[in-house]
Amino acid sequence: MIRHFLRDDDLTPAEQAAILDLAARLKQTPYDEKPLAGPKTIAVLFDKPTLRTQSSFVAGIAELGGFPMVIDGNLAQIGVRESIADTARVLGRTASAIVWRTFDQSRLQEMADNAGVPVVNALTDQFHPCQTLADLQTIREHRGDLKGQTLTFLGDSACNMSLSYLLSGATAGMHVRVSGPAGYEPDTELLKKAQQIAATTGGSADFVADPVDAATGADVIATDTWISMGKESEAGDRAEIFEPWQLNQSLLGKGADGAIVLHCLPAYRGKEITAEVIDGPQSVVWDEAENRRHAQKAILTWLVS
Ligand code: CP
């Protein structure tokens, strides 16, 4: 059976833990393991802007002995020039796996349904599971075993990072709190799904309206831009609405001793996070950015082997 990584809960708790172990090993010896030797081709497609995702996949695939075939979504016009299904059938004859950043999750699902090779979500409107895998690796490095730790996300709780934290954190047995203004709550069904997973792992998943309550005692405090891709026209309104959820020294001070700060980047200092916090001693955002490469190498190794 072909496995895909389309959303965080595509991995069982045991699979997630094994992939995080592999990511840690690959970080120690980045050039020793060549599961893509051949080289096997991995198609890497972007319908939206990127820096970290493109660079980490390209470098990581090369380190695994493979060839990263980068395809500009603006040129390919997937779903416009030809159907997603036909694109998938063509790429599946060329590549050993497909990595795609696109819009609605249904586009990615259609690719996976027709490609005949593993498909990896490099960000959709709904989920960003490669990012949260790297985030879990970063938390393990700085705070140890994930089980029982509290992860708080501040900001747009309906956004892809919030939803991916709910699913991935619950899978890891963490206590996940997402907090944002009214009207920006996580999808009800998705929250319920995270709670069902958490019930099996000893974790929890909750929406906490008050940002101070959400941050209090947290081992990890994460945020993301208030203006997700595609929401640029709402920038003015959002800056005012989200201001109480800004990750500043006062909110960080509510966290546990030694709490760490995550931000998937790009960051907007003075908006969702202050310069004092992102450039301060509790911030681990550069480790987090580096771990994209290691975590993605691990998921590709697992899927292709
Ligand atoms: N965090 C992240 O996915 O970065 P890019 O949008 O630059 O790829």
* 4 given a catalytic annotation: no
From residue 198, alpha-carbon distances to 11, 144, 152, 222, 271 in Å are: 14, 19, 15, 19, 32
Please count the other Cβ atoms lying within 10 Å of the Cβ belonging to residue 240: 8
* 264 given a catalytic annotation: yes
pLDDT of residue 6: 99
The SS3 of residue 32 is coil
Q: Measured from the CB, is residue 50 less than 6 Å from ligand 1?
A: yes
From residue 155, alpha-carbon distances to 111, 179, 194 in Å are: 30, 6, 18
* 131 given a catalytic annotation: yes
pLDDT of residue 228: 78
Give the CA dihedral 302, 10, 48, 108, nearest 10 degrees. 100
Tokens of 163: 């939803």
pTM over 0.85: yes
Tokens of 261: 């700060």
Tokens of 298: 């691990």
User: What is the Å distance from ligand 1's center to 171 Cα?
Assistant: 23
pLDDT in tens, 112-148: 999 999 999 999 999 999 999 999 999 999 999 999 9
Give buried/exposed letters for 250-272 (b at 16+ CB in 10 A, else e). ebbebbbeebbbbbbbebeeebb
pLDDT of residue 168: 99
Tokens of 165: 């934290």
Q: Are 242 and 269 in contact (CB under 8 A)?
A: no
CA 114 to chain centre: 24
The radius of gyration of the chain from alpha carbons, rounded to an integer in Å, stands at: 19
Q: Specify the ligand 1 atom closest to the Cα of 128.
A: 3
Which ranges of the chain have pLDDT less than 50? none
